[in-house]
Chains A and B, each alone.
Chain A
Amino acid sequence: SQTIHQWPATLVQPVGSPLSLECTVEGTSNPNLYWYRQAAGRGLQLLFYSVGIGQISSEVPQNLSASRPQDRQFILSSKKLLLSDSGFYLCAWSPPGQGQPQHFGDGTRLSIL
């Protein structure tokens, strides 16, 4: 069966520090991969998605970047965090193709001080 791992679960970082969040998927090949951010009590904002290694689509201009160095690995990064980067970050995968159900990790709660 397929599983998705996302870590860390919580993270507290100072303003201006770098960020690296990692997400890996097991049990499937060539998945679509997604990074979302969720503000408290709000819906999901799609940040990046990828349909293959090295293929990244950015949805909103921001202080963040994403990379997909391996088929089942998706990394969210920042060189310098802003206070506005605080939030709940969720990684998800779906089978290849359009309109497929997405399967989410347990998220990372990021607090910027």
Chain B
Amino acid sequence: SQQGEEDPQALSIQEGENATMNCSYKTSINNLQWYRQNSGRGLVHLILIRSNEREKHSGRLRVTLDTSKKSSSLLITASRAADTASYFCATALYGNNRLAFGKGNQVVVIP
């Protein structure tokens, strides 16, 4: 089954800086979603971008989708210590009830 792959795998930044992470996938998708996971907790849905959308914003989050390159990026602006977490992309295929999750990208924001 298809899986998203995040890049880079780990990121350490200073508070106030922007954090960017990328996700690539292999086949056509219905939509792509980003999730956050704090240590020892469940995942929290952040944002969904449909295959016919190129960019979407939610608060300090900006997601782009390039279906020709089969890639997406998540930008967190003006990062805060509370943004420290693992971030996962997940792809939804047409005709499918499942999501395929990537391996995750650990972000550490240093106060």
Contacts and interface: CB of A to CB of B under 8 A. Distances in A.
Interface of A: 6, 32, 34, 41-44, 46, 49, 51, 59, 90, 92, 94, 97-99, 101-107, 109
Interface string B18-56: 000000000000110100000011111100100000000
Contacts of A107: 40-42
A105 B37 CA distance: 11
A42 B93 CA distance: 22
Minimum-distance CB pairs A-B, first 4: A104-B42, A99-B92, A43-B103, A101-B45
B3 interface: yes
**Number of contact residues on B: which range applies?**
20 to 34
B40 to A, nearest CB: 7
> Which of the listed residues B40, B92, B98 has the most CB atoms from chain A within 10 Å of its own CB?
B98
A22 B96 CA distance: 25
Contacts of A97: 97
A24 B83 CA distance: 28
Contacts of A49: 97-98
22 contacts: A32-B97, A42-B104, A43-B88, A43-B101, A43-B102, A44-B43, A46-B98, A49-B98, A59-B98, A94-B97, A98-B30, A98-B96, A98-B97, A99-B30, A99-B31, A99-B92, A102-B43, A102-B99, A103-B45, A106-B42, A107-B42, A109-B40
A104 B97 contact: no
Summarize B's interface: helix, strand, loop or mixed: loop
Interface of B: 3, 30-31, 33, 40-45, 48, 88, 90, 92-99, 101-104
Nearest to B4: A43
B6 to A, nearest CB: 9
B33 A101 contact: yes
A99 B40 contact: no
A97 B93 CA distance: 12
B95 to A, nearest CB: 7
Contacts of B95: 98
Contacts of B45: 101-103
